[in-house]
Amino acid sequence: MPAATTNNREAPGHEAGAFFLFDTALGRCALVWRGHAIIGAGLPDRDDAAMRRSLARRFPGAVEADPPPFVQAAAERVASHFAGAAQDFSDLPLDLASASAFERAVYAAALAIPCGETRTYGDLARTVGQPQAAQAVGVALGRNPVPILVPCHRILAGAGRTGGFSAPGGVATKFRILEIERAKLPGEGASLFEELPLAVKPS
């Protein structure tokens, strides 16, 4: 089911949001929240200082803080996912109010992709009713504020090409996550990683 969204009210003292960093098998990640909803996520960067700089740029004014229980629980699920225990994040409370209606439609379509499966940008464009908008889908996914929670890494370009990935580490991070998820090619039973040339094709 689609992720819960909210017209979130800011908690006193955290009007711009708050964040915390946590360990996973992939590296240090981050979650950003405001009030009772998650507004952002960060995948591993070079180090904690780089992560904090990235978060400051993406979420100006957000402060580092101890997470409330719902954020701590979400972080534990992210860590479990990267440890190989697949998680469904579609029930998490996400605030995507800053995204356009088209972007929210793309994110809802991405959320519907099961763990271990992939789709193409064209697939998502057809899903949202705009079959000629594959490039716009890619732009929307590049703006995804909550990577992993909205699984933009599961969308590939057509003809076996990788597509991009805007998180730190780029396509290499994308493939690390897909490998953890034992991903398959779009519409096929074969493992993504049985197709070795795919891993080295440029986007």
Sign of torsion, CA 92 95 99 102? Answer: positive
152 as an active site residue: the answer is: yes
Q: Are 75 and 29 in contact (CB under 8 A)?
A: yes
| Residue among 150, 152, 171, 180 flagged as catalytic | 152
Give me the sheet containing 93-94, strands edge to edge. Answer: 4-5, 93-94, 37-42, 29-34, 18-22, 63-64
Pairing of β 29-34 and β 155-156: unpaired
Alpha carbon distance 197, 195 (integer Å): 6
Pairing of β 93-94 and β 63-64: unpaired
Secondary structure E strands in 107-167: 119-120, 155-156
Alpha carbon distance 93, 8 (integer Å): 10
What residues act catalytically? Answer: 152
